[in-house]
Amino acid sequence: FRFKDSLAEELQSADLVISHAGAGSCLETLEKGKPLIVVINDKLMNNHQLELAKQLHRDGCVLYCNC
């Protein structure tokens, strides 16, 4: 779906979330206690999404991949 101001309702009802590895998206999903798979966009700002995804993976919070 297209951009929404809030994903709170969708996150609440989700069994699994697949998202980009933006910090806000990751943290909001993990705060809801939902399993999370992140897909890294390696073309953004020095590949910062990979750094976040790797750390969250080391912490046991997410699985990650790239396209």
**Predicted pLDDT of residue 55:** 96
Number of domains within the chain: 1
Q: Would 61 be classed as within a structural domain? A: yes
Q: Would 2 be classed as within a structural domain? A: no
Residue type, 65: C
Q: Would 1 be classed as within a structural domain? A: no
Indicate the pTM of the whole model. 0.85
Q: Would 31 be classed as within a structural domain? A: yes
Name the token pair of 60: 């046991």
Mapping DSSP to helix (H, G, I), strand (E, B) and coil, where does residue 37 land? strand
Q: Would 34 be classed as within a structural domain? A: yes
Cβ within 8 Å of residue 66, ≥6 positions away: 39, 40, 42, 50
Give the CB-side neighbour count of residue 41, counting CA atoms within 13 A: 8
DSSP E strands in 1-67: the ranges are 17-20, 36-40, 62-66
What are the pLDDT digits (tens) for 5-46?
Answer: 888 999 999 999 999 999 999 999 999 999 999 999 877 777
Q: Which domain holds residue 36?
A: 7-66
Q: Would 14 be classed as within a structural domain? A: yes
